[in-house]
Amino acid sequence: MRVLVTGAAGSLGRAITVGLDRLGHEVVCLDLVPPVDGSPFAWHEADCTDADAVAAVFAEERLDAVVHLAGTPEEAALPDELTSHVITTAALLDAMVAHDVPRLVYASSNHAVGRTPRADGELGEHVPPRPDTYYGVAKVAAEALMRLFAERHGTDAVACRIGSFLEEPTSVRGLSTWLSPADGVRMVEAALTAPAPGYAVLYGVSANTRAWWDLEPGRRLGYEPQDDAEAYAERIAAGPDDEAEAEFVGGPYATARLHRPALG
């Protein structure tokens, strides 16, 4: 499969590009920055918010799927978040329809449901959107756009609500939300190759003993995580914010420290 990976220079992007290459996929990269020296991949330096630049990439490359990882990973003003996550997704989806590229795998986020109280129990894919930030709002909107294209154009679109992508968990919350690099590759591979998923949501976390999210939606698509954050539990000391970060699914993003005007 020939796969365009946006945000290829980021931490998740680097893991996914290398992992997909090892699995036999042909990887094409797109990012705002140039490739590092010695990169083995075809590389396009472009902004995903620029629909013409995105269309030019699709016109040049024969593609079978898109893995969309580009976007600011931090909280910002609402217009910036919508541009980074929704406009970029729209530009890619338009180009996919125009060039008959049938599948999108999207790095959504647990922050799309981050205001869900932990007291509600394990989260499934049908939990209603409850964003914890403008970042979360933008992820919800991007998911809605994917669903529209799935139902209007027949695009296969898988939203991966990623927890905490790190080499290893670094907090008590991370023991529940961790996604290992190896499981990140397994997740994307499953989302790329699942037969006819239509629009689907899975939770991008490893097989953590303390997991907060239902892994069954991912397993239906073939995602079988292998790693468990519990292997690192003895290394992680309790912290002063652990109780506050466990109140809502979004952890620190659901706390008052990130409150700001929507347009400020």
pLDDT by 10s per residue, the chain, length 264:
999 999 999 999 999 999 999 999 999 999 999 987 778 999 999 999 999 999 999 999 999 999 999 999 999 999 999 999 999 999 999 999 999 999 999 999 999 999 999 989 888 989 999 999 999 999 999 999 999 999 999 999 999 999 999 999 999 999 999 999 999 999 999 999 999 999 999 999 999 999 999 999 999 999 999 999 999 999 999 989 889 889 999 999 999 889 999 998
Which has the closest alpha carbon to 41: 11, 64, 18?
18
pLDDT of residue 241: 86
User: Rounded to an integer, what distance in angstroms lies between the CA atom of residue 264 and that of residue 260?
Assistant: 7
Which has the closest alpha carbon to 114: 68, 52, 163, 72?
163
List of residues 6+ apart from 192 with CB closer than 8 A: 1, 3, 20, 25, 65, 67, 103, 105
Q: What amino acid positions are annotated as catalytic residues?
A: 135
pLDDT of residue 128: 95
User: Rounded to an integer, what distance in angstroms lies between the CA atom of residue 264 and that of residue 63?
Assistant: 39
pLDDT of residue 109: 98
List of residues 6+ apart from 67 with CB closer than 8 A: 3, 4, 5, 6, 16, 20, 104, 105, 107, 188, 192
For the chain, the structural domain boundaries read 2-258
What CATH fold (topology level) applies to the domain 2-258?
A: Rossmann fold (3.40.50)
Q: Count Cα neighbours of 247 within 13 Å in the Cβ-side half-sphere.
A: 11
Q: List the structure tokens of 132.
A: 């914890």
DSSP 157-169: EEEEEE-EESSS-
Backbone angles phi, psi at 51, to 5 degrees: -60, -35
Q: What pTM was computed for the model?
A: 0.97
Which has the closest alpha carbon to 73: 29, 170, 139, 1?
139
User: Rounded to an integer, what distance in angstroms lies between the CA atom of residue 159 and that of residue 99?
Assistant: 21
